Amino acid sequence: MDLLNTLVDKGLRRELPTREEALAVLATSDEDLLDVVAAAGRVRRHWFGRRVKLNYLVNLKSGLCPEDCSYCSQRLGSKADILKYTWLKPDQASEAAAAGLAGGAKRVCLVASGRGPTDRDVDRVSQTIKAIKDQNEGVEVCACLGLLSDGQAERLRAAGADAYNHNLNTSESTYGDITTTHTYADRVDTVHKAHAAGLSACSGLIAGMGESDEDLVDVVHSLRELDPDSVPVNFLIPFEGTPLAKEWNLTPQRCLRILAMVRFVCPDVEVRIAGGREVHLRSMQPLALHLANSIFLGDYLTSEGQAGKADLDMIADAGFEVEGAGQVTLPQHRSEQGGGCGAHAAAAADGAPEGAAGCGTHQGAGCGSHADAGCGSHGGAGVCGSAAPTAAPETAPAPTAAPETAPASAGAPETVPAAAEPKAGEPRTDLVAVRRRGAGTDLAPNA
């Protein structure tokens, strides 16, 4: 297909596809889908090899957000039955982060619900960053705290933060339909503040909110112009109790096309599959690894994710490898820009070939939550993040599956009807589960 050959050539040269080319990717047929994945996969492998970066969310403060983001379970007026708690103490957050790091994560994303941090909140998060870095040499820390005021990004950088996440979420033309308590320009301003402070910027989107193909192409082109080091792609989890609870617009095939379009438009940045991958990609998650080079490990902000061990098995079975702490995530030309992700890791990775590494230790792969402020995970959360204590097992114990047949008192077993299988195209509400473990609870996390 001429379109795909053109897009691969442009991706290898870091040339921006036209809007028409990006729209054409979204319009491809199911028959052409594997060709689309293969083409975008060539671009992914050129810049990132077969490495997959693991990120771990720690939800520092959950719920009770004053903003009205329609997609968020932590929003003002949300009736979603999520965990609600105030700030974790630095030692609690560090303990939570340790579980994800033990599971293979190299970046910790610290998220807090709310419009934006007060100066006291920045002090609190700075102490948390110090606690995590003191106990985990080489760990990357990304903060996701909402809209930043003047000077706050600089204070976070001085405290040791490597990156800051704040998502654009959707196109500028439709932003007012999703949120009214702040503007698209407010979000852009915060990403600029992070850049200017020397933080690696992370900014992404949420797909599945009822937007058009044009909206998706608009926001991804806007992200290309902002030039973040990482772009988290969230797929809406339609939480009951939120205005978008009935927006079940995605199929696994649609999600793969969106990820392919993002890779073509942003060929040399860390593309992260964030919230909603388990709900919408389902059994096609391994194919998505040919498009994205980064995922979240374990649970999200307010929703449960796939078991951490299942993530690791999936990566290995698909022929990929977990990116190590000593590897730089971003390609050399980005990591050497100074401020970009992996700038200081590049120095440690002496002579790493172009495209061999990437972000490594100073990447701004923020979170990517699709919650309110935006870490990059959209696990039903508000801003971003989910957590876990140190000594936690790699996976939370799975409940024992109920047998399909229950024994009758004396004779042949009585058949118990199995649950009806969902039909193709039906909303998969059975896959949406509120997080009840990890940060803010007494239960071991999923990491």
Token output for 159? 């405290």
**H or E segment to which residue 321 belongs:** strand 321-322
The residue from 51, 107, 124, 142 that is catalytic is 142
Strands (E), 12-160: 51-61, 107-112, 140-144
Q: Is residue 47 part of a domain?
A: yes
The answer to whether residue 255 is catalytic is: no
DSSP letter string, 395-429: SPPPPPPPPSEE--SSSSPEEPPPPPPPPTTS--G
DSSP 116: S
Within a domain: 227: yes
Please calculate the CA angle 25-30-31 and round it to the nearest 5 degrees.
105
Rounded to a whole number of angstroms, the CA Rg of the chain reads 21
Map residue 303 onto helix, strand or coil. strand
Element (H, E) at 196: helix 184-196
Residue 127 to residue 39: CA distance in whole angstroms = 45
pLDDT digits (tens, 9 = 90+) for 390-425: 333 333 333 333 333 333 333 444 444 455 667 767
Instruction: Give the pair of three-digit tokens for residue 389.
Output: 């204590």
Range of the structural domain that residue 106 is part of: 2-348
| Catalytic-residue membership of 69 | yes
What is the structure's pLDDT at 128?
A: 98
**Lowest mean pLDDT, pick from 76-80, 85-89, 113-117:** 76-80
**Residue whose C-alpha is closest to residue 293's, from 326, 333, 259:** 259
Please check whether residue 48 lies inside any domain of the structure. yes
User: What pLDDT is recorded for position 357?
Assistant: 38
**162 near 200, Cβ under 8 Å?**
yes
Catalytic residue among 157, 272, 277, 334: 272
- Among candidate residues 44, 51, 65, 435, the one labeled active-site is 65
Q: What's the CATH code of the domain at 50?
A: 3.20.20.70
Predicted pLDDT of residue 336 = 80
CA pair distance 441, 421, nearest whole angstrom: 32
Active site residue 202: yes
Which token pair is 241? 């109790």
Residue 139 belongs to a domain: yes
User: Does the annotation mark 384 as catalytic?
Assistant: no
- Asked if residue 33 has pLDDT above 70, the reply is yes
Is 382 part of a structural domain of the chain? Answer: no
- Among 44, 51, 69, 257, the one annotated catalytic: 69
For residue 294, being part of any structural domain is answered with yes
- Annotation marks residue 142 as catalytic: yes
Task: Please check whether residue 137 lies inside any domain of the structure.
Answer: yes
Query: Exactly one of 202, 341, 367, 375 is catalytic; which is it?
Result: 202
Alpha helices in 169-307 (DSSP H): 175-178, 184-196, 213-226, 252-265, 277-280, 285-288
3-state secondary structure of 174: helix
Residue in the structure block whose two tokens are 């058949």: 415
| CB distance 293 to 269 below 8 Å | no
Task: Domain count for the chain, please give it.
Answer: 1
- pLDDT tens for residues 226-259? 999 999 999 999 988 888 989 999 999 999 999 9
Asked whether residue 296 is domain-assigned, the answer is: yes
